[in-house]
Structure 1
Amino acid sequence: MSITASDAGPATAWDTAVNDAPVALSARHDLIAVAGAAGTVWILDAATGAGITTFELPGGALNVALAPDARHAVATGPTGYALWRREDDRTVVHESGAWSSTAAWADHERVAIATGRRALVLTPDGDELWATEPAASTITDLAWLRQGRRLAVAAYGAVRCHERHTLKPVTTYPYIGSHLALAVAPTGRWICSGNQDASIHIWRTRDGGELTMSGYPGKVSRLAFDDTGFWLAADGAADVTVWDFSGKGPAGTAPRSLRCHKAVTALTWRPGGVSHLASGGADGTVALWHATAGRPESRLSPAHTLDGDAAVAALTWAGPELLVTAYRDGRIRAHRLPSRTAL
């Protein structure tokens, strides 16, 4: 299954396939989880791509998240969620009938799950620790702040933040519209939502200051901060836009534009804060970028492109040197990059 390349560019490390259309990837330590649309989750060895086990979520899957220590995983879907335990390959399924859009681990002991209009915070074995009060509509995304001490929850009309064991929000950031994606700066300084109305809305957590970046030709459904919290990548256009959040933030500035895809389907920053971004497109192309090069309003070209036979469904980094791509035809491919600082 392994292939070795002799040049200095990205080398194919392994190539495998699953018998479903992938919808999400997650990588932690030595494992990769691949969620399929029909509800099977494949657990793979990150070094070789070999299959280790599978677990099932009846009704289909939307997302998957491995715990930071890779000892547990949670899959979410249209009818509920499932928790997998590595130690004994046990799966606990909760078929609540509620649309469960996503999950996020605070640490290896707590995971938040968006299920219907509530967010549940559970132990890895599924015991409920606390829950939020119902939001105005189905929760579309959530994220942890302050090293897992505060939970941000996005639903129509607002992003609400809850402290541990608080039913009601301790802070509310209103915005009339449908939030599709949520990104929180690792510094905790900024909360950003990508929206149905083709905008990005930003709140400064220190004082609630707001900013809207509008004018995108399409809805913004993918947002990602790099590890420094200084750079935000977004879709919403054929070009990926990269905004500078250093200093006082992006107010009054223009983004860098990364042109490669006709339609962006995936975004992920390389770990380590080295300003390397990978993006995927509906045409099957994966582009690798020095995403912060040039000046504001610069239009950048990719450092490398990797071609596939089907649309890119998801991207993730398994450590700083292994980029994993899931294609909608079921192909899962890993590329090894030459070093932590080169593309």
Structure 2
Amino acid sequence: MSATIDSDLATAWDITVDDAPVALSARGDLVAVAGAEGTIRVLDAAMGAEIGALELPSGALSVELSPDAGHLVATGPMGYALWRRADGQTTVCESGAWSAAAAWADHERVAVTSGRHAFVLDKDGGELWRTEPAASTVTDLAWMRQGRRLAVAAYGAVHGHERHTEKPVVTYPYIGSHLALAVAPTGQWICSGNQDASIHIWRTRDGNELTMSGYPEKVSRLAFDETGFWLAADGAPDVTVWDFSGKGPARTAPRSLRCHETVTALAWRPGAAGQLASGGDDGTVALWHATAGRPEALLRPARTLEDGGSPVAALAWAGPHLLVTARRDGRVQAYGVPSPTAL
């Protein structure tokens, strides 16, 4: 599917990096770009100027800035690294274990996956505690209850750990390989995107569960908006958006967002306007009124961007009016986006 250039969106900055981007993170006045070979660049969000960098020798898979933008963690196939903004100090841990994901509980604590464990570290990389070994490699994790509980996904279950509890205090079973984990900001729902082309959902207060199956492809990207009422997912050429308000999505149909042949990135715009950015392997970035219409509605983009066809590797919002895009050819751009009412 083709897309046309939307000339109404001004380019705030446009740079090219020499390591194919795999992940973006935006917090405060910073944007971090992780490259496949392990170069992580820290940029000024307003201008795109590089203010710091670090190397993860084994390559990178993810990057996450802390909520106060004072620290950064990057993970990769053989370990993880932390960076401190104040003085540029970098701490690298080459553990030899697959480290696919990281999540900050607050500006003091961060959790990283490391083989069959999740490690909780202080902001400079000191280990505070770790979970007991999971049944297989931990694939994703997320914080709940304002950073008081850690949800950890591995084959067969999602486990919930309280602070400093090696053993889980609650287990949400599902026989399958979890590829992505999303926890509603309300704490009411835990969702996993799975290798078997499904989304599995648990309601946290009573453990009731639901599976949405029938996706044509594995579901490897899930994202809740800030309200916790809307979940966006890949797993098909269309982005699906499920309604979690009220009693949740049981016996309902999603909205379908049609633009890409293959979805490669999802990012909700900050706020409660229900606006979503998506990227595809065709190089298109689409902006959506993602919660418009009724269930089963087929939606078209509010705006689309296309600048040469390099696949989109990652998207991140640096505040509500600046969308950062990273493409596999190394191009990183920031677009000024109109107010939600003018999109």
**TM-score, L = length of structure 2:** 0.97
Residue 66 of structure 2 is aligned to residue 67 of structure 1: yes
Distance 1:184 1:95 in 2: 29
Distance 1:293 1:43 in 2: 35
Please state whether the residue corresponding to 2:342 is helix, strand or coil: coil
Asked if 2 retains the 8 angstrom alpha-carbon contact of 1:322 and 1:336, the reply is yes
Alignment of 1:141-180 (within 5 A): 141-180=140-179
Asked if 2 retains the 8 angstrom alpha-carbon contact of 1:255 and 1:296, the reply is yes
Query: In the alignment, which residue of structure 1 is the partner of 2:3?
Result: none
Alignment of 1:301-340 (within 5 A): 301-309=300-308, 310-340=310-340
Distance 2:296 2:90 in 1: 49
Please state whether the residue corresponding to 2:146 is helix, strand or coil: helix
Query: In the alignment, which residue of structure 1 is the partner of 2:276?
Result: 277
Distance 1:81 1:198 in 2: 29
String of CA shifts for 1:189-221, please: whole Å, max 9, x gaps: 000000000000000000000000000000000
User: 1:10 Cα shift?
Assistant: 2.1
Distance 2:28 2:51 in 1: 14
Residue 48 of structure 2 is aligned to residue 27 of structure 1: no
Aligned AA for 1:131? Answer: R
Distance 2:10 2:161 in 1: 44
Asked if 1 retains the 8 angstrom alpha-carbon contact of 2:38 and 2:56, the reply is yes
Please state whether the residue corresponding to 1:160 is helix, strand or coil: strand
Aligned AA for 1:327? Answer: R
Please state whether the residue corresponding to 1:114 is helix, strand or coil: strand
Distance 2:220 2:183 in 1: 14
- Unaligned segments of structure 1, at least 5 residues: 1-5
Query: In the alignment, which residue of structure 1 is the partner of 2:263?
Result: 264
Distance 1:39 1:102 in 2: 14
Aligned AA for 1:261? Answer: H
User: 1:340 Cα shift?
Assistant: 4.2
Query: In the alignment, which residue of structure 2 is the partner of 1:3?
Result: none
Q: Which runs of 4+ in 1 moved over 6 A?
A: none
Out of 9-18 and 297-306, give the one that drifted further.
Answer: 9-18
Distance 1:340 1:26 in 2: 21
Alignment of 1:11-160 (within 5 A): 11-160=10-159
Asked if 2 retains the 8 angstrom alpha-carbon contact of 1:308 and 1:327, the reply is no
Distance 1:82 1:321 in 2: 30
String of CA shifts for 1:55-102, please: whole Å, max 9, x gaps: 000110000000001110000000100000111101010000000001
Aligned CA-pair RMSD:
1.0
String of CA shifts for 1:234-279, please: whole Å, max 9, x gaps: 0000000000000000000000000000000000000012100000
User: 1:11 Cα shift?
Assistant: 1.6
Percentage of identical aligned residues: 77
Residue 294 of structure 2 is aligned to residue 295 of structure 1: yes
Asked if 2 retains the 8 angstrom alpha-carbon contact of 1:36 and 1:60, the reply is yes
Distance 1:326 1:56 in 2: 19
Distance 2:338 2:280 in 1: 23
Aligned AA for 1:323? Answer: L
- Unaligned segments of structure 2, at least 5 residues: 1-5
Distance 1:240 1:338 in 2: 22
Distance 2:340 2:286 in 1: 17
Distance 1:136 1:55 in 2: 32
Please state whether the residue corresponding to 1:130 is helix, strand or coil: strand
Distance 2:120 2:196 in 1: 30
User: 1:17 Cα shift?
Assistant: 1.1
